[in-house]
Amino acid sequence: MPMTERRSTHCRPWGIGMKILFDGFWLLDGPPSGRLVVKEVLRAWANHFPEDDIVVVVPSHARASSLDIPGNATLLRSRLRLHPLINGIELTVAARRLGVDLIFCQNFSALSGRSVVFLHDVLFQSNPEWFTRIERTYFRVMIFLARFAGAIVTSSESERQRISAHNPTLRKVIATRLGVASVFSNNAANRHVPDLKPGQYLLTVGRLNIRKNLVRTIEGALMSGTVSPDFPLVVVGDASGKKEELSDSARAAIADGRVRFTGFVDSRQLLWLYSNAALMMFLSLGEGYGLPPVEAMALGTRVLASDLPVMHENLGEYATFVDPADVSAIAAAISESLAGSGPGVPEPVPSWEAVVRASRAALAEPLAAWRPRGLTRFMYRKLRGRDLPLEVPPSVVSEFLLRKIVEALRGATFGFTYRRLPGLHFRGRGVQVQFPRHFTAGRGVALADRVRIDAYCREGVVLGDNVTVGAGTLIAGSGVIAEPGEYVRIGARSAIGVNNVIWGQGGVTIGVDALLGPDVVIVSENHESSSIDIPIRLQGSARAPIRIGDGCWIGAGAKILAGVSMGNGSVVGAGAVVTRDVPPYAIVAGVPAKIVAYRGQGATYAS
């Protein structure tokens, strides 16, 4: 995939947010309901989970200015054109490369158990006669890819049952309802549709195909005797999918203005049409959800809907229901609805937040319940001497595991030159070990990238079990080979930060469980400089051992000079220069370092 076009300045807090790869294919192209779901879910996700890091994948030809992308999201362009290929191949690859926690897809899942796919419906399985052969072939790919998803989300309980009945081997299927477009719920200004008067038309909305039952809808409206050029049936939507032929009476009604086709209308025009219709009719033969009547209900418009389980589920007692296959019943229901006192009590319209929370929870709960085990747990305990924290996202653990496997292979390949105890040994890129026969590494030692160890000295350099050495650190037993130093000994489970410098000419001992921050300098040798007649480099040096006790913590940029002894559990503040001994559990800071506090009364350190 190409590089991202726009990067977010948003950072997620460690252990709280998730990294989400979002299928944005339908932001540019797709059915109106599909575009609505993508746009509203993306907006709700960014609003309700601002700690999540969202990466939106869109087709390569999409113009960024035409996409409604939240400001805290990153835009990524795909190279492929077909939706199934983008999701099945590119989203899968991008998810692994970016280390995402969850992939949110529309209809076509990525090839990953971290994928949550929103499957709108599988009507092509229950009613294949409503679809063309090409459509059925295309939709079968949805089911194939859905087998790889960690969870499937759909828009209604009715559709959840249909999906499970036709595809019993799929993983868990979750039902959640859909909200309405933001423009319907935030009092946005609507746009008048020319040649229509408020309250003087019937309305039906949806894509024009055989499933939407348009012919019977028109025939029922004509049979009711209510439509006329001054009180028309308005049909909103574009032709899509398998079509049915209009009857002669329907064509005549179109010709004389009793039936009007608007084609596609924008959101503000649709808002006006819903708000001012005398009756909104939705007489589809089958639906996964059926969003138009829910939108009409949200605006208080009377609704006549198909007598289907999903319509009852979404509309409750609000709408009038009729058999969509019975033209006479449709005609009678239109007349009764127009003569009635008004719609019933509306069902609460769900929020898009509910869709987002259900989708996020579909994988967030398994992630929260995830337990590191096996090789990962073993490697982490060997390296750190403790269990892996449970809140670490699996994507991070996977990357950690892969990196450590590579480093362990380097350790096994290049570590034969020096003495080391049996067990895992991790070695980053560019590690240099000079005079390897003088170097001993314990089990689980980890040398990060560009660590340099010059082990030439009388007693060598020794790293205890599970010692970690940060990138760019230099550990040297001697300054020059003509004047060999004494030793460097670092106790088990101690962590040496990045870019540390440890000189062992006078001998350096660091106890167990010690922590050294970045850029710490430990120098056990000083130049003599008393004479002004001899160059300093010729006056020799004064060496004195440095001892850093068990459990000490040395802050970033601190300097420990020759002859200093630090008691167990003591702490050195960042940037301090330590020139004299530090008592156990004392906290020192400043230049030169002075005692500023003690860690506690009667504290003891068990090594």
DSSP structural state of residue 575: T
Contact 546, 560 (CB under 8 A): yes
Q: Do β-strands 432-434 and 594-598 pair in parallel, antiparallel, or remain unpaired?
A: unpaired
The residue among 489, 571, 507, 578 whose CA lies nearest residue 545 is 507
Cis preceding-peptide flag for 592 (omega within 30 of 0): yes
Q: Which two tokens stand for residue 546?
A: 């440095």
Three-state SS at 589: strand
Is 527 among the residues known to form the active site?
Answer: yes
SS (H, E, C) 260-277: EEEECCCHHHHHHHHHHC
**For residue 316, with 0-12 CB atoms within 10 Å meaning exposed, 13-18 middle and 19 or more buried, which class applies?**
middle
Which amino acid, 351?
A: S
Contact 456, 478 (CB under 8 A): yes
Name the one residue in this structure whose structure tokens are 């506690």: 600
Element (H, E) at 344: none
Structural Rg of the chain based on CA atoms: 35
Return d(Cα 141, Cα 51) in angstroms, integer: 33
The catalytically annotated residue of 61, 166, 192, 527 is: 527
**For residue 348, with 0-12 CB atoms within 10 Å meaning exposed, 13-18 middle and 19 or more buried, which class applies?**
exposed
Give CA 456 to chain center in angstroms: 49
Where in the sequence numbering do the catalytic residues fall? Answer: 527
